[in-house]
Amino acid sequence: MDRDLLSHLPVVVAVARRGGFALAAAELGMSASAVSHAVRLVEERIGQPLFARTTRSVSLTEAGLALVATAEPALQDIAERLERIRGIKGRPAGLLRLNVSHVAVPMAVTPVVTVMAERYPDVTVEIFANEGLVDIVGEGFDAGIRLGEMIAQDMVAIRLTPPFQVVIVASPAYIGRRGAPTGLTDLAAHNCIGYRLVRSGAVYRWDLTEDGKDLAVETRGTAVVTDSLVAIDLALSGTGLAYVFEPLVRADIEAGRLVQVLPQSAIEEPGLFLYFPRRSAMAPKLRAFIDTAQEIGRTSSRTPGRVA
């Protein structure tokens, strides 16, 4: 058994996953030269190049594809089994990588991580927040958090929040200047804060209901965002109407900083779910996150929102 070869395989997998030496070095906490040396050593042992390198890109060769296809799941399996063994006699430990939407952070991640910091000090939770859907297995994440309707059928899904409404809100100052819409047709005369979908690039049409019918309403305004939390800040500043998840603005509505308009037109979303491949279900670090989230859910009658 070539021990030098085995010890450098995680580096090769990281370069393949990240698509470059510098990104892999940052992920692994190594220098770029050390990453390059490790890859070169594996290539020398195998006798074939693993990556095709240009000044602008790094791509796997046929030999590289074959090696990574074998090594990546094997390394992941070894890591998961080692974590389970550690968890038999001790506390959950290791790096838990989560890919989540921005809105999931205050609603479903922050409360759990806060408790875990005291309860499981040997677990480090890495939170990668973005709005695009990614292959969590291929990108090296342990789990993701998204709306239930966005999760692939082959994933295990665990509810983190109850269903919630999507509401339209504005500041009292904005309503004082422009008035409040009384029907969906009135939205055309208002400054609506748009939301651009990361994957398609389109501006999202607001899903609303009227007279029992679901409608996708096109809006216009002077601001477009890719993060609902930015839309909330703009609404608080008096810029315009924002279309957001109700738990995120619950404290602001209760404090009078924001006012809900057209409440009769609000739709309900299924809630946020943690999802992961079936093989990861028993990893102690993930089990610790799930148990903590479910405990918080049992002891709280309301989904956590923005801090007042």
* CATH number of 59's domain: 1.10.10.10
pLDDT for res 45: 87
Whether pLDDT at 158 is above 80: yes
pTM of the model: 0.72
Task: Please report which confidence band the pLDDT of residue 83 belongs to, taking 50, 70 and 90 as the band edges.
Answer: low
Contact 287, 92 (CB under 8 A): yes
Q: Tally helices (H) and strands (E) across the chain.
A: 10, 15
Is residue 179 situated within a structural domain? yes
What's 129's domain CATH number?
Answer: 3.40.190.10
**66 and 104 fall within a common domain:** no
* Per-residue pLDDT, 305: 43
The answer to whether residue 84 sits within a structural domain is no
Structural domain contains residue 308: no
Same-domain check for residues 174 and 35 = no
**Residue 131: inside a domain:** yes
Q: What is the pLDDT of residues 7-59, one digit of tens each?
A: 889 999 999 988 888 888 988 889 989 999 999 999 988 898 999 887 777 88
Same domain, 197 and 263: yes
Is residue 145 domain-resident? yes
Residue 85 included in any domain: no
Cβ distance 143 to 109 under 8 Å? no
Residue 88, pLDDT > 60, answer no
**Pair (178, 153) in one structural domain:** no
Do both 38 and 170 map to the same domain? Answer: no
Given pLDDT bands bounded at 50, 70 and 90, which one contains residue 163? very high
Distances (CA, A) of 154 to 59, 99, 157, 275, 293: 28, 17, 9, 10, 22
**Is residue 307 in some structural domain?**
no
Average pLDDT over residues 98-116: 95
Determine the pLDDT at residue 133.
81
253 and 193 in a common domain: yes
| Interacting residues of 102 by C-beta distance below 8 A, sequence separation 6+ | 129, 130, 131, 227, 228, 229
β-partners of residue 165 are 268
In a shared domain, residues 280 and 265: no
Q: What are phi and psi of 279, to 5 degrees?
A: -70, -20
Which residues, in sequence order, are CB contacts of 6 under 8 Å at separation 6+?
A: none
Q: For residue 78, is it within any domain?
A: no
Percent pLDDT > 90 in the chain is 59
| One domain for residues 140 and 188 | no
Say yes or no: 171 and 257 in one domain.
Answer: yes
Provide mean pLDDT across the span 233-244.
98
DSSP state of 256: T
Average pLDDT (232-245) is: 98
> What average pLDDT score do residues 106-121 get?
96
Stretch 150-169: mean pLDDT = 91
Domain that holds residue 222: 164-269
Q: 145 with 282, same domain?
A: yes
Would you say residue 307 has pLDDT above 70? no
Answer yes or no: do 197 and 253 share one domain: yes
Residues 232 and 194 in one domain: yes
Q: How many domains does the chain have?
A: 3
